[in-house]
Structure 1
Amino acid sequence: MKNFMLHLLLALLCLVCSLSFQYCYFITPLDSAQVKHNISYLSSDSFRGRLPGTLENYQAVTFIKNYFESQHLKPYKDSYLEKFSVLYPKRIEGTPYLRIMDQNGFIVKQYKYGTDYKEDMLNFRDNKISFKKSDILLEKGNAFQVHNGNKYFIFYNPEDDNLNFRSSFMANSSQSMYIMIQKQTARDIKKYIDSGYEVSCFIPFENKLTSIYNVIGYIKGKDPNLPPLVLSAHFDHLGTDLSGKVYRGSLDNASGTSFLLGLVKYINSLGKPDRNIIIASFNAEEFGCLGSKEFVQKYSKELKGGRVINFDMIGSNKKIPLTIMGGRWDTKNSGFIYEIADLCLENKVNFKYIFQNSSDHEYFRAYAIDAVTLSDEDMSKIHTPEDKEQYIDTASIDRCFNIVSKEIINYSFHNNFFVLYCGRLFILSSIGIILMLRSIGKRF
């Protein structure tokens, strides 16, 4: 009887060893070096900042679509491309100017673009303004609002006189155009208009309606009727300024997009999930999360009861906590947020909370769908030309994967024991087999 039990236990250990070895061999962990390579590619000068409406944004769409196809993702609702319309800031012909004019229309002073003034990208409902002192509606410090007909323009001095920061584009802004000016420029303008001169400004951008695309694929689950898991990131950024300076958006958000692409290989290596896993690469996040809004409004019924993990800025080289970002009305006790925080605690990952609608989780939460954004909230170079690949750290990428991979297994693979602990199981079962063989050998 003892020999039978020993042989039974040996057979069980061999089975565990074999299964765990297969999982260890076939599972492909996230390759953070490859993620960084893709970040470098997507944020290179050839993509010119991936501004929605530009050729380079369409090229990014093509790159992501081709990757989805190469990884055998199924097109969501029969197409990888989800088309929708947006207003975008289109570059038009002309040279920018900010100048002082006398009563006869002669130029008294011409300011230098990029040094004395520069457009902020918030809106270009109108791109030309001439005004005198009587047109200034509100003045505060080195900022003033100009009223011209039924149009409003803002001239303001940015923090530290830094003209490099570029805001997101908001077509529904109440102001027609925003112009950043140096402190000295603001003082000059005040002096001139107090003396009866006129200020004239032109920025060659205009709001233009166009069609752009989200890229959506999915991995089919065993039970497609279960609410899906959605993994998402936005790929758009802020384009270039009028001098050709590229806003690369390496951290924001070539990083999240590249991380998402890396996850696809990992998930495919796990086998067939229990539920559908939707891989959503959103456009026009920098225009007010318009891509995710389009997606949620269209498919809210299918998404009900599901979960969303969004990635926005993954890979900072600053030693900062991982941010769990929920919606404006969430708290740390909101169910899904609590679960992600618990995973961080279990895996000794330093983290913090933020509750605001500032990424693509916003509209999921508006439809009461569980959603979080994971982020390295390093704002030091965001929306400036300094957001470059060289400031990406693979350790931060690996940190995020350590948390996300466990949530994927938990929610979409029923906490598969072999997936979670294949390495440990293989080692322990191998040791057990050796010990059992020795024990059986001594008996004979």
Structure 2
Amino acid sequence: MNRKIYRYFATLFLIIFFFSFGTFKGAKNFKPDNVKKDIVYLASPELKGRLAGTLENIQAANYIKEKFISNKLKSFDNTYYHNFNTFYPEKLKDSPYLKVLGPNNESIKEFEYGKDYKEDMINFKSNNITFDKNSKLSFNKEFIGVGTDKGTLILYLAENDNMEFRSSFIYDSPMNLYLMITNDTKAQIESSLKDGYKIDCYIPYTVKETTVSNVMGLIEGKDSTASPIIISAHFDHLGTDLNKNIYGGALDNASGIAFVMELSRYISSLGKPDRNILFIGFNAEEFGCLGAREFVKDYKDLLKDSKVFNFDMIGTDNASPLCIMGGEKDSINSPLVKSAASVCTKEKIYFNYLFQDSSDHEAFRNANIDAITFIDNDLSRIHTPNDKAEFISSKSIERCFSVASKEIKKHAFTNNPFVLYNKILILLSLPLIILLFTLSKIRV
């Protein structure tokens, strides 16, 4: 091989090296500490659980928007907000009660809120129900069902008499009001009904309609006509109870949206992707994944060939696997599930599968759009006041990034080897440059 050929290949590998090194140097490191800082803020007492419909939820949405802007994301469809209407539970200023009434409606016994009973968030279409043995009643070991002309009520046993768990709000749920009660409370209510007394229940919540917002930020791609890649997480949670206990939702899902915000900073530093990448903070997930559903409804035609990467509960400090969640009709052979699992295997990541319509991927899968959710399937603290930032693990955050970043880059930078393989190209090209220059007797 003559000197010109050596020199040609040396120059070629030098160009490859500089492009690869330039991409590597320009890329901002993904920082788990940034994720944790955002989790601490979003799960803080200041934001009071980020319940959709509250001022604190709006405050969280604005925080996400400002993060997207600072990370150089542009607006989508001329706005950073995607608005939609929903019903939400509004707290009233009265005090709750559950009591036994005598023949003249005098109070015979009043149960203690938070100790003997507590509202569950599922619905408040009726907030004051009085019933007696002549009402439509059903009994079993777990609950008392009540039907009256003022609405329907279910009183169910709290697991181990622990009333910390709080369900999501579901406007179209079949019952009007839901109460958690202890075993002793259930026994006393049943005995009082048999003795001819009334039971009077009032929970100071009402259901109102309001406008809430998803938050969106865009990285423009080379082909803006192609369906965008979606990177998403919900940011709402469950607010506070009537004793002002805060359901901060650190793992569920301050962690997911904080992960997405840091991911937007990292990906925006990699250069222009092949197609648009749209980052979304979904709202009202705790109301039945409404934000994602409304978004898909409004932009379905644009999304038909999208790939959706959703993040829900990322960063547990328990020994839980990273789960790849598909829809109920998916399997381990669904393309996006299979691809993510392959990365987990190569990276030796402890992972598992879930196939449930229980996060924001559901709306996309129902529209036949490829979507998965990355989730640490740790249910030990979620929907309780104990879901706090102090239980978030940097190692679990890094674990998810090591998989998700590779999957996203694979689809977003298909034709850019300097993004996909920059470290490999740097390591391969440098010794080849030295060898070829040596062979051609050109001094470096």
State TM-score, norm by structure 1: 0.96
Query: Which stretches in structure 2 are left out of the alignment for 5+ residues?
Result: none
**Same amino acid, percent of matched pairs:** 44
1:183 counterpart letter in structure 2:
N
* 8 Å contact kept, 1:296–1:364: yes
Equivalences for residues 132-211 of structure 1 within 5 A: 132-149=132-149, 151-211=151-211
1:363 positional shift: 0.9
1:86 counterpart letter in structure 2:
T
1:176 positional shift: 0.5
1:44 is the counterpart of 2:44 = yes
Following TM superposition, the consecutive aligned residue runs of length 4 or more in structure 1 with deviations greater than 6 angstroms are none
1:424 positional shift: 3.4
1:439 positional shift: 4.8
SS, match of residue 300 in structure 2: helix
Deviations 1:189-210 (A, max 9, x none): 1122211111111110010111
SS, match of residue 114 in structure 2: coil
* Equivalent position of 1:269 in the other structure: 269
* Equivalent position of 1:287 in the other structure: 287
* 8 Å contact kept, 2:255–2:312: yes
C-alpha distance in 2, partners of 1:209/1:442?
75
2:23 counterpart letter in structure 1:
Y
* 8 Å contact kept, 1:410–1:416: no
1:426 is the counterpart of 2:426 = yes
* 8 Å contact kept, 2:327–2:361: yes
* Equivalent position of 2:224 in the other structure: 224
1:430 positional shift: 2.9
* Equivalent position of 1:97 in the other structure: 97
1:53 is the counterpart of 2:59 = no
Call closer, same or farther: CA 1:442–1:59 in 2, change over 3 Å: closer
Comparing 380-389 with 434-443, greater Cα deviation is found at 434-443
How many residues end up aligned between the 2 structures? 444
1:125 positional shift: 0.2
* 8 Å contact kept, 2:73–2:268: no
Deviations 1:164-213 (A, max 9, x none): 10000001111010000011111111122211111111110010111111
Comparing 391-400 with 345-354, greater Cα deviation is found at 345-354
* 8 Å contact kept, 1:123–1:173: yes
1:150 positional shift: 6.2
Query: Which stretches in structure 1 are left out of the alignment for 5+ residues?
Result: none
Deviations 1:283-328 (A, max 9, x none): 0000001111110000000001111111111111112211111111
C-alpha distance in 2, partners of 1:151/1:343?
52
Call closer, same or farther: CA 1:415–1:399 in 2, change over 3 Å: farther
C-alpha distance in 1, partners of 2:150/2:254?
39
Call closer, same or farther: CA 1:442–1:18 in 2, change over 3 Å: closer
* Equivalent position of 1:390 in the other structure: 390
Deviations 1:8-61 (A, max 9, x none): 333233222222221221111311110111011111010000001101001011
1:373 is the counterpart of 2:373 = yes
Deviations 1:215-239 (A, max 9, x none): 1121111111112111111000000
* 8 Å contact kept, 2:129–2:150: no
1:128 counterpart letter in structure 2:
N
* Equivalent position of 2:116 in the other structure: 116
Equivalences for residues 300-319 of structure 1 within 5 A: 300-319=300-319
C-alpha distance in 1, partners of 2:276/2:17?
30
Call closer, same or farther: CA 1:322–1:415 in 2, change over 3 Å: farther
C-alpha distance in 1, partners of 2:85/2:390?
34
Equivalences for residues 310-349 of structure 1 within 5 A: 310-349=310-349
C-alpha distance in 2, partners of 1:62/1:14?
45
Call closer, same or farther: CA 1:100–1:150 in 2, change over 3 Å: closer
* 8 Å contact kept, 1:137–1:146: yes
* Equivalent position of 1:278 in the other structure: 278
1:161 positional shift: 1.2
C-alpha distance in 2, partners of 1:229/1:106?
62
2:373 counterpart letter in structure 1:
T
1:395 positional shift: 1.1
C-alpha distance in 2, partners of 1:150/1:106?
20
1:402 positional shift: 1.1
Equivalences for residues 218-257 of structure 1 within 5 A: 218-257=218-257
1:133 positional shift: 1.9
* 8 Å contact kept, 1:307–1:369: yes
C-alpha distance in 1, partners of 2:32/2:442?
48
1:372 counterpart letter in structure 2:
I
* 8 Å contact kept, 1:142–1:186: no
Pairwise CA RMSD: 1.7
2:216 counterpart letter in structure 1:
I
1:6 positional shift: 2.8
C-alpha distance in 2, partners of 1:415/1:341?
22
1:341 counterpart letter in structure 2:
A
Deviations 1:397-428 (A, max 9, x none): 11111111112221111163222332233234
SS, match of residue 302 in structure 2: helix
2:81 counterpart letter in structure 1:
L
* Equivalent position of 1:23 in the other structure: 23
Comparing 136-145 with 309-318, greater Cα deviation is found at 136-145
Deviations 1:66-119 (A, max 9, x none): 112222222111111111111100001211111111112221111111111100
C-alpha distance in 2, partners of 1:368/1:358?
16
SS, match of residue 138 in structure 2: strand
C-alpha distance in 2, partners of 1:164/1:340?
35
2:307 counterpart letter in structure 1:
R
1:400 is the counterpart of 2:400 = yes
* 8 Å contact kept, 2:306–2:369: yes
Comparing 294-303 with 391-400, greater Cα deviation is found at 391-400
SS, match of residue 186 in structure 1: helix
C-alpha distance in 2, partners of 1:202/1:47?
27
